Amino acid sequence: MSHCDRCRGEIQTMYIKSERPYEGGLLVVTDVPAEVCGCEEGQQILLGDGAMIAGYAKHLASLNIVGKVEVSLNDLKGKYTIQDFVSKSVSPA
């Protein structure tokens, strides 16, 4: 059992809803696994999940999708990978 360094509360894995505004709308991603404790800022999602959400929000903005878009993280992962959202001009070192 893990405890938060800030609030000493127990850290639990829960599924949350992540909202990310983008130019033209709001992306709502459901079923995002997160480590949650009693802190106000105690929700932490995996870096890869956050990158997927950010990339999809940028993709929606580039397509001029307006309004609220709601999708589950599993649906996003079933259709896209993080590499789909990485700039093609980025080359490995």
Instruction: Give the per-residue pLDDT at 53.
Output: 96
pLDDT digits (tens, 9 = 90+) for 22-74: 999 999 999 999 988 877 666 789 999 999 999 999 999 999 999 999 999 99
Instruction: Give the per-residue pLDDT at 76.
Output: 96
pLDDT digits (tens, 9 = 90+) for 76-86: 999 999 999 87
C-alpha 64/C-alpha 12 separation (Å) is 37
Alpha carbons within 13 angstroms on the beta-carbon side of residue 81 total: 1
| pLDDT at residue 92 is higher than 80 | no
* Lookup result for tokens 């360094």: 5
Name which of 64, 55, 68 is nearest 17 in CA terms: 68
- For 57, the 3-state DSSP assignment is helix
| pLDDT at residue 5 is higher than 80 | no
* Lookup result for tokens 């959400």: 53
